[in-house]
Amino acid sequence: MDRYSKVISESHVLTDKEKIASEIEKIKERLPELRKPEIYGKIFSCIDLTTLNTTDSQDSVSSFIKRVNDFDNDYPQFKNVAAVCVFSNFAGVVRSHLEVSDVKIAVVAGGFPSGQTFTEVKVADTALAVSEGADEVDVVMNLGMLLDGAYEELCDELIEVKHAAKDAHIKVIIESGALKDAAKIRDASLLAMWSDADFIKTSTGKVYQGASPEAAYVMCSCIKEYYEKTGRKVGFKAAGGVRSTEDALLYYAIVREVLGEEWLDRDYFRIGASSLANNILADMLNEPNFNYF
């Protein structure tokens, strides 16, 4: 048994579908106490504001970044988003236009959204994005390797990508909607963390079902178990289909319940979204149908 198979076999993370559903229902019962403007503001500050369109261009990305810059002046009472997330080839565009010092530059790289390309391409894409200014790189785990049980090959690839990122953070996307099964989501989460991931992320939001409360619960449970074994804190990112304030609030509540308050800041909790930013801002301002970004 290789060391990665051993990690999986020794895990005690809950994977029973009915028991996970029961735990989520308990968390939902406590949502009313979280429906507060200050919580909405905290969630807003943990958003990775995203544009990942086939039609993205230098001009469209520049305009996108201008809104993020303007936000600080237009709404100084609120903390800005945690990061902007773009395709890797736009890292330099963002770096040259972003004026807000506390907003990170995140990119998707390495054969996004499938993760199916040469390891050398993933490494080069990551290194180029970081050299152009990326602070964070979101990469898709090779699910083919995972499902074949090629754990060492899978982890070696992720570790190579991590090394190529140097000081930038790596968020490993496990595409939970493709895995579906809680045990497979557990396996992917553990392997990502044992490959030095700084965050584990639910989904690309492009092909399969996006984030789900069930996947989030399993992933956060894996983060907790990993932290108890190693002392290293890994972040959690929900992405794909998180559009409403209520959606975001549930992921916030899951992180709070499983991992605790210390995980509820932008260093360890993110939500990848586009429309969510406007919806939660509307609730923060109490202005229905507000549209800013």
* Residues designated as active site: 138, 201, 237
Report the alpha-carbon distance of residue 87 to residue 40 in Å, rounded: 27
The contacts of residue 85 (CB under 8 Å, 6+ apart) are: 48, 49, 50, 51, 52, 106, 107, 108, 138, 272
DSSP H/E element including 14: none
End-to-end CA distance of the chain: 50
Q: Which amino acid is at 50?
A: T
| Structure tokens belonging to residue 208 | 């399969």
Report the alpha-carbon distance of residue 3 to residue 152 in Å, rounded: 9
Query: Under a CB-based contact definition with an 8 Å cutoff, are residues 196 and 170 in contact?
Result: yes
Report the alpha-carbon distance of residue 16 to residue 183 in Å, rounded: 8
